[in-house]
Amino acid sequence: MTSAILADTVTDRLTVNQLASGELKSWSNIVADINDRMTVNQLARREGVHCATPWRWMQHGVRGVKLRSIRVGGRRYITEADWLAFAATLNADLTDAPQTPPRSESRRRKDSDAARDALRRSGI
């Protein structure tokens, strides 16, 4: 299917209200992204996750971030740009978080003993 035909199919599904509200990217960006798209199953195989996982990312999101997709006919596609934006958003807070150094064996043992004592005192 050529880009022009595919673009016509995509634009038939989009509404002017969605574009005006900023919910969607501009028409030219959508058409440009169409050539760089993958199906839900292709994304799942590429990332090594179950095929239901990208669907969950699209429908429910992760930590408030949803994976954007486009529908062409009865199929869902994810553009490379949308996948990278989704992954970058989820990983942004991980790179900014301070790294906690691992506890030493003696520190873990002391913490474990303190927790056990606290449980005994509370009658558990």
Strand partners of residue 37: 79
How confident is the model over 92-104, as a mean pLDDT? 73
* Reported confidence tier of residue 21, pLDDT bands at 50, 70, 90: low
The strand order across the sheet containing 75-79 reads 37-39, 75-79, 70-72
How confident is the model at residue 22, as a pLDDT?
58
pTM for this model (two decimals): 0.52
| pLDDT of residue 43 exceeding 50 | yes
**How far apart (Å, rounded) are the C-alpha atoms in residues 45 and 52?**
11
Whole-Å CA distances, 121 to 12, 16, 32, 69, 84: 68, 65, 65, 54, 51
Q: Is it true that domain 36-122 has CATH number 3.40.190?
A: no
- Token code pair at residue 76: 């869902």
**How far apart (Å, rounded) are the C-alpha atoms in residues 43 and 106?**
44
